[in-house]
Amino acid sequence: MAANAGTDTMPGEGKHCLDKTEKNNLVHKVYLDYNATTPTVPEVVEAVKEAMQDAWGNPSSSYAAGCKAKELIDAARVNVARMVGGKPEDIVFTSGGTEANNMVLFSAVDHFMKESKERHNNVLENELPHIITSNVEHDSIALPLLHLQKIQKAEVTFVPVSTLTGRVEVDDVIAAVRPNTCLVSIMLANNETGVIMVSNCLF
């Protein structure tokens, strides 16, 4: 969304989009939706342009365009690993946040079940994996967890956030931990309120 600096209301308030005249009147704009989408910085535009022009090939192919694509992907994997303090071989590229979140959730459940079978004598019979999250998570976390809970593939604790701060209290998360807890998934920054969670105290 864009707001007209120094005014109380938006021109054409009530409309979904502004018409051309109203857009021209917005001399000084303040963009207020960075939490959803950010404007593309020139460096990203240039990188995408380079990839589309020079590295359009299949990265699994042996011809020049394919080799160039593989080089760019490998370089990107190294750069991401360096930023997060990981190893390039551990970096997995997905189509987006929803796929990535689902991959983590279902992998955690599968890993727990596999480990439980291997240590059958040390676990309770029919024990389910337990996952802790907050009650303000994005749907890409909340909906899969509700589904796992509904089909009785996992136990889920939705820790409520503080009514004063909007944050998850560390003590509440710790209190929710059980012997069968296999994953704690708390967002770093809420996509609706912008509240920064105290994840450094949790992890």
> pLDDT tens-digit profile of 11-52?
444 556 666 666 666 667 888 888 778 899 999 999 999 889
Is pLDDT above 70 for 177?
yes
Task: Centre a 10 Å sphere on the Cβ of residue 98 and count the other Cβ atoms it contains.
Answer: 15
The three-class DSSP label of residue 178 is coil
Asked if residue 182 belongs to a domain, the reply is yes
163 is a domain residue: yes
- 196 and 113 belong to one structural domain: yes
As a whole number of angstroms, the longest Cα–Cα distance in the chain is 73
In this prediction, residue 13 carries a pLDDT of 47
Share of the chain above pLDDT 70, in %: 81
Please state whether beta strands 155-159 and 29-31 pair in parallel, antiparallel, or not at all (unpaired).
unpaired
On whether both 138 and 179 belong to a single domain, the answer is yes
Q: Are residues 74 and 170 in the same domain?
A: no
Percent pLDDT > 90 in the chain is: 63
Burial 171-192, CB ≥16 within 10 A → b, else e: eebeebeeebebbbbbbeebee
Say whether pTM exceeds 0.85: no
Comparing CA positions, the residue from 98, 188, 190, 186 lying closest to residue 144 is 98
Contacts of 121 (CB under 8 A, 6+ apart): none
85 and 102 share a domain?
no
Q: Which residues pair with 156 in a beta bridge?
A: 131
Same domain? 64 vs 105: no
Average pLDDT of 67-88?
Answer: 95
pLDDT of residue 65: 86
User: If you average pLDDT over residues 125-131, what whole number do you get?
Assistant: 86
Mean pLDDT of the chain: 86
The tokens describing 24, both together, are 């021209």
Q: Are residues 105 and 143 in the same domain?
A: yes
Task: Verify that 101 and 86 share a domain, yes or no.
Answer: no
Tokens standing for residue 67: 């080799």
- Statement: residue 100 has pLDDT above 80: yes
Q: Which helix (H) or strand (E) holds 43?
A: helix 42-54
9: confidence class by pLDDT, cuts 50, 70, 90: very low
Residues 83 and 113 in one domain: no
Task: Considering only residues 6 and 164, tell me which one the structure prediction assigns the higher pLDDT.
Answer: 164
- Residue 25 is predicted with a pLDDT of 63
In a domain, 37, yes or no: no
Residue 36 lies in a domain: no
Residue 17 belongs to some domain of the structure? yes
Domain that holds residue 16: 2-31
Same domain, 188 and 170: yes
4 pLDDT tier (thresholds 50, 70, 90)? very low
What pLDDT is stored for residue 1 in this prediction? Answer: 44
The pLDDT value given to residue 131: 98
Do 112 and 196 share a structural domain?
yes
Number of structural domains in the chain: 3
CA–CA separation, 99 and 144 (whole Å): 11
